[in-house]
Chain A
Amino acid sequence: MLNMLRSSGVLSEQELMELPGVPSMELVEKGPVAVIECAEMIPCNPCEACCPTGAIKIGDDINNLPIIDAVKCTGCGLCIAACPGLAIFVVNGAHTKSEALVSIPYEFLPLPNIGDQVEALDRQGKKVCMAKIVQIRSSKKFDKTAIVSFTIPKERCMEVRHIRLSGGMQRKQ
């Protein structure tokens, strides 16, 4: 169980798809939905507590894995900033015909600018395509975790989980 995650820090595709917080590709293609990449029983529940529509369920035992109800989820993204593990993303596979909109938590300075073309990285930090920044949200409630939304080719929407700005404070490979 979770061998890939435990030995490499990266969830394998199968490990990912088995998570109760990760909706199927079919659901992702219907519209914006939270993808909760939380695989271990950690005593933690801010995602459930912050969800305005009750779409995230953990229950009384706070060690339970969060379960996403894709029907109730509106893709608002509040949970992105609430997750202390930075493990929640919102993916909208129906953004345009060919593009998906992905929203990620971002805790680096400087923030990108709307319209910027940046490198889109997968779970291993490898560049897989370019992304275009379309929205940046930060508020007191998000407590310094910005939510950055960008568009990428649709087929990459379950791969891309981070971005790299040229000149930003991040690893250059």
Chain B
Amino acid sequence: METELAIVGSGPAGLAAAIEAAKTGVKVTIIDENPRPGGQLFKQIHKFFGSEKHKAGIRGIDIGHELLEQCEKLNVQIFLRTEVWAVFDNGKALGLKHANNTTEKLNTRKLILATGAIENPLAFPGWTLPGVLGAGATQTLMNLHRVLPGQRVLMVGTGNVGLIVSYQLLQAGADVVAAIDILPQIGGWGVHASKIRRLGIPILTSHTIKEAFGNNEVKGAVIARVGQDNKVIPETERTLEIDTICIAVGLSPMAELAQSAGCQTIHIAELGGWTPMHNKRMETTIKGIYVAGDVCGVEEASTAMEEGKISGIAAAESLGYLQRGKAKELMKERQESLNALRAGPFATQSKLGKEKLIERFHKC
């Protein structure tokens, strides 16, 4: 099989990249391992923040529908239930594994990796018991598969993911007994925290989970207060009767494909860990391989879409479908939009991280 631009991952980054490139006439093929495209978008039933320009106030799921519709109109080819297991020849070919276990090689001229991120685990005694699961996984189970993983939940981590999933657990009919965080402050936005507080969910900062217990499944957990050294303060332990523990302690970029392709990576804590280095055009250290979205720094769907667009424009230009000047102009617009998204105090970390990343790219 042949294509001009292969995109791995059909989340907001991959879809936005496909649309930008296909608009100029590029033949685009997207590959995703899931049964339906959209990445994280289809489990996000809440309204998104952002400016009117960035589809704010629209629920993630509806943003997904919109992007898919555009891809369809532009004849973007999408392979679903298909895993990309290797990148060959400096990104000029991909190894695909289809749902029926057949494999295939896809030749391509350019490649965009938009593989997203993976949830971080947290180890504590009992962490392998059934009933301990990622908050994002819980969201997928609930909102995509309509399966409630339990009735009484402890949420570990109060970043936006932990807060939003707590709210959605209540919407789905479960009870969240508490949301805890080892830090003295709530990690996510105040509005998300206020939303679950007025529903009666306690938020316990400076608290950690000591253990989960139960024979074949989670029956309860012991939580305790921590001091400034993050160590448990003796005799502050409390036992909670619960059947589910959701872990929401951050995400890490899924950079394995980029790494195996030979793209240079760098560890940047602000971006969630090992990240492929890229320049302002989203091109990695291997010419013709681009990255966009959470794979090159865990941020937001809004930033993922902007990065996706930039990578799509860059790929279209290098394939000869866009003139230099026009591409520059389009990229400038997208870059300004990205800067606006990263301007607030909550985005300082990712902004710093991105600056470091691009600076390092130019040094190597």
Give chain A's interface residues, CB within 8 Å of chain B.
2, 5-11, 37-46, 49-50, 61-63, 82-87, 107-108, 121-126, 143-145, 161-162, 164, 169-173
Contact = CB atoms under 8 A, between A and B. Distances in A.
B129 interface: no
Given A8-B203, A45-B51, 19 more contacts: A9-B190, A40-B346, A41-B344, A42-B49, A42-B346, A44-B56, A62-B340, A84-B49, A84-B57, A85-B195, A86-B191, A107-B171, A121-B199, A125-B200, A125-B201, A143-B59, A169-B173, A170-B199, A171-B175
A169 B175 CA distance: 9
Contacts of B195: 85-87
Given A46-B57, A162-B198, A169-B173, A7 B185 contact: yes
A61 B346 CA distance: 14
Contacts of A44: 49-51, 56
24 contacts: A7-B186, A11-B190, A39-B190, A40-B189, A42-B346, A43-B341, A43-B343, A44-B51, A44-B56, A46-B57, A62-B340, A82-B57, A84-B47, A84-B48, A84-B49, A85-B49, A85-B195, A87-B194, A125-B199, A143-B62, A144-B59, A162-B199, A171-B175, A173-B200
A9 B196 contact: yes
A40 B48 CA distance: 16
A60 to B, nearest CB: 9
Contacts of A172: 175
B118 interface: no
Interface of B: 46-52, 56-59, 62, 170-173, 175-176, 184-186, 189-201, 203, 205, 340-341, 343-347
Contacts of B344: 41-43, 63
A6 B190 contact: yes
B205 to A, nearest CB: 5
A9 B51 contact: no
